[in-house]
């Protein structure tokens, strides 16, 4: 039996998702225990209110299913590679096509934007006296929520990367992939709206913030929002 050869683009597609997960884990770990100890106390308080397994289990299951659906485009590509190997088809990058390759490009761009935005905000907040300050440096001077923009681009790329790999036999995976990308975009949209409301209240006396918020949106200065009340 010949060794199974997975196309390099398939490995990159999945590898970028794993890299995203590792980056997020390290970022949250550093924020909770190093740069923002108060956040760790807040999480402990939440856990104290959900001591029983019955209270936590539904959340664990829902979260696991949600992330599984977001990862399903990668799984679909792996299934495609294995199917091609079983039928002795040629395994090469041509099975990806333009949409799949474009998806990988979006993954890279999104991961870079999200990483830079988190770094810039974290660096500013670590300066003594800036914990409660409005972040308006780097990417944050262009978009109201560049980290969420980056994450949305990343998961759109993951979805596009899996397109073209779902055959008739993979309809369930296709449905999971679509549900996953719709779900994460809805979460990102909701997070942006919630955080914007909090910022409008927190920085309502900051004229510089008010001017920025009136002329900038999530996607940049061209998408103006309604005047803040």
User: Considering only 20-24, 94-98, 177-181, which range has the smallest mean pLDDT?
Assistant: 94-98
In a domain, 3, yes or no: no
Task: Report the domain count for the chain.
Answer: 1
> Do the beta carbons of residue 123 and residue 31 sit within 8 Å?
no
Which range marks the domain in which residue 211 is found? 8-215
Q: What is the mean pLDDT of the chain?
A: 83
Q: How many CB atoms lie within 10 A of CB 223?
A: 12
Give tens-digit pLDDT for 15-71.
Answer: 999 999 999 999 888 777 776 666 555 655 555 555 665 666 777 788 889 999 999
How many residues make up the chain in this entry? 229
pLDDT at residue 46 in the model: 55
- Sequence-distant contacts of 134-142: CB under 8 A, at least 24 apart: 134/199, 134/202, 134/203, 134/206, 134/208, 134/209, 136/208, 136/209, 136/212, 139/113, 141/212, 142/216, 142/220, 142/221
Structural domain includes residue 23: yes
Domain-embedded: residue 112:
yes
In a domain, 1, yes or no: no
CB 74 within 8 Å of CB 181: no
**2 in a structural domain:** no
Band (pLDDT 50/70/90 cuts) for residue 93 is very low
> Is position 227 within any domain?
no
Q: Would 220 be classed as within a structural domain? A: no
135 inside domain: yes
pTM: 0.85
- CA–chain centroid gap for 116, Å, is 13
């Amino acid at each position: 039996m010949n060794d199974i050869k997975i196309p390099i683009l398939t490995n990159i597609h999945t590898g970028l998702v794993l890299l995203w997960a590792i980056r997020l884990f390290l970022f949250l770990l550093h924020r909770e225990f190093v740069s923002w100890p108060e956040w760790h106390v807040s999480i402990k308080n939440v856990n104290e209110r959900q001591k029983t397994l019955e209270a936590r289990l539904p959340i664990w299951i829902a979260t696991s299913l949600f992330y599984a659906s977001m990862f399903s485009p990668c799984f679909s590509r792996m299934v495609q590679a294995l199917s091609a190997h079983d039928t002795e088809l040629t395994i090469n990058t041509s099975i990806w096509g333009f949409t799949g390759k474009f998806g990988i490009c979006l993954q890279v761009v999104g991961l870079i934007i999200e990483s830079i935005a988190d770094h810039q905000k974290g660096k500013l907040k670590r300066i003594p006296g800036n914990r409660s300050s409005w972040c308006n440096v780097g990417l944050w001077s262009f978009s109201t929520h560049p980290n969420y923009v980056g994450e949305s681009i990343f998961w759109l790329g993951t979805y596009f990367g899996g397109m073209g790999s779902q055959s008739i036999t993979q309809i369930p995976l296709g449905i999971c992939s679509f549900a996953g990308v719709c779900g994460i975009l809805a979460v990102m949209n909701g997070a942006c709206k919630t955080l914007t409301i909090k910022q409008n209240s927190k920085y309502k006396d900051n004229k510089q913030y008010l001017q920025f918020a009136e002329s900038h949106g999530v996607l940049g200065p061209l998408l103006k929002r309604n005047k803040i009340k």
